[in-house]
Amino acid sequence: MGLLDGKVAVISGAARGQGRSHAVRLAEEGADIIAFDICADIDTVPYGLGTREDLDETVVLVEKLGRRIIASQTDVRNFDAVTKVVDDGAAELGGLDIVVANAGITSYYRSEELTPHHWQTVIDVNLTGVWNVARAAVPHLIDRGAGAMVLVSSSSAHVGLQNLNHYSAAKAGVVGLMQSMAVELGPHMIRVNTVHPTTVKTGMALNPIPFS
């Protein structure tokens, strides 16, 4: 018996890295998975993002554990598309219990070099994208009568780092979002938390980072 037998989890940014790790770990504990990822590069991001092949590998790993998984190529910035993924997945798998809003990107610019386009893209993925996933999931968790929501922030929400104005601002915004949603959703027995990773061995970290 797993800790999450009979539960369903949705995970954004699930093609590789932390998202894949979350999907596999939750599946190990018995959860079925709704997984999605953009599976394409973004013009402002100076490293390659996950691919459809990466997401397919996540599917293989979850299915090897005997769990069901629904995976789609979906941009976390598109609220309507995210809502459809969550709604369709919950309908097929029998509900929704767990949310891991994980998808995130970055780029590296000094304050005087950061452009509105680079700023907005990181905010759209790392903050609005988190809200999109959370907002799409909330009605399902309320219907379930309980649930758990994990919003992936960063240690950079609390510690200033060079060349990451937009990233740090977005991740700090995720903390504010969590605090408000935790108060609102607590009466529905829905727990809302943030986690704050430091440097993790993923595609985001395994590239030259100009911190000088």
Residues with a known catalytic role: 167
Cα separations in angstroms, 178 against 18, 132, 194: 19, 13, 7
CA 103 to chain centre: 4
Helix ranges (DSSP H) in 94-128: 116-123
Which tokens go with 105? 């990107």
Question: Which of 169, 90, 174 has its CA nearest to residue 122?
Answer: 169
Which tokens go with 194? 């943030």
C-alpha torsion 11→147→200→3, nearest 10 = -100
Q: Residue 21: count other Cβ atoms within 10 Å of its Cβ.
A: 17
Is 142:91 a contact under the CB 8 Å cutoff? no
